[in-house]
């Protein structure tokens, strides 16, 4: 089923929001809610990059491990990481141990600190408050012109592991677009 589904609690949700118990709270309390601070956007960007090629559920279940490993995703602290930190992270089973993604997380912290106006201001320039509404998950795009432009802007400033699909996932997660299905109780910011 790819339309909103009624949960046991009587609330309709996007189907992925009921596909595993871990998803219910994430769907209801976080996904699609506006994130307007640099550190919050940086965390989501890093997690979306780590998710590339993997299940979001894997990342969600390791989220606290990521937070501990990357100093709460404080860009100033992560930007100071060196080779020893990379080796420490490569040995940390609490996160996804992928050197390219770890290196990108460090590079993205440095890029975020150098980004004129900051990461949140940059990302929110690409927000679409009038994004289309979808009734079926099959209609939700993997990327949009806005996510292509956001990815291009971030890459221009030195960000890595942020293509149009990752940028769109960031936009969805941080409320820059509302991709909760029309039948979902969270659609429209509810």
**3-state SS track over 98-157:** CHHHHHHHHHHHHHHHHCCCCHHHHHHCCCCCCCCCCCCHHHCCCCCHHHHHHHHHHHHC
Task: Confirm or deny that 27 is annotated as ligand binding.
Answer: yes
Q: How far is CA 109 from the centre of its chain?
A: 15
- The annotation status of 71 as a binding-site residue, yes or no, is no
Q: Is 185 annotated as a binding residue?
A: no
- Of 42, 56, 126, 168, which residue is the catalytic one? 56
Is residue 64 part of the annotated active site? The answer reads no
Considering the candidates 48, 124, 126, 134, report the single residue annotated as catalytic.
48
**Candidate list 16, 26, 30, 153, residue with the active-site label:** 26
Active site residue 56: yes
CB 14 within 8 A of CB 178: no
| 48 catalytically annotated | yes
Residues annotated in the binding site, as ranges?
14, 27, 180, 184
Residues annotated in the binding site for Zn(2+), as ranges?
14, 27, 180, 184
What residues are labeled active site? 26, 48, 56
């Amino acid at each position: 089923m790819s339309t909103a589904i009624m949960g046991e609690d009587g609330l309709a949700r996007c189907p992925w929001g009921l596909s595993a118990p871990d998803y219910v709270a994430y769907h209801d309390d976080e996904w699609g809610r506006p994130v307007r601070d640099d550190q919050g956007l940086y965390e989501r960007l890093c997690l979306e990059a780590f998710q590339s090629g993997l299940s979001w559920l894997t990342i969600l279940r390791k989220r606290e491990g990521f937070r501990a490993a990357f100093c709460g995703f404080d860009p100033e602290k992560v930007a100071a990481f060196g080779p020893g930190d990379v080796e420490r992270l490569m040995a940390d089973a609490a996160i996804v141990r992928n050197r390219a993604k770890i290196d990108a997380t460090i590079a993205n912290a440095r890029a975020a600190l150098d980004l004129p106006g900051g990461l949140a201001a940059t990302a929110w320039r690409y927000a679409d408050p009038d994004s289309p509404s979808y009734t079926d998950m099959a209609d939700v795009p993997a990327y949009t012109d806005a996510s292509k432009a956001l990815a291009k802007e971030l890459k221009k400033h030195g960000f890595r592991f942020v293509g149009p699909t990752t940028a769109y996932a960031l936009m969805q997660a941080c409320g820059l677009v509302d991709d909760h299905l029309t039948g979902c109780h969270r659609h429209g910011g509810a």
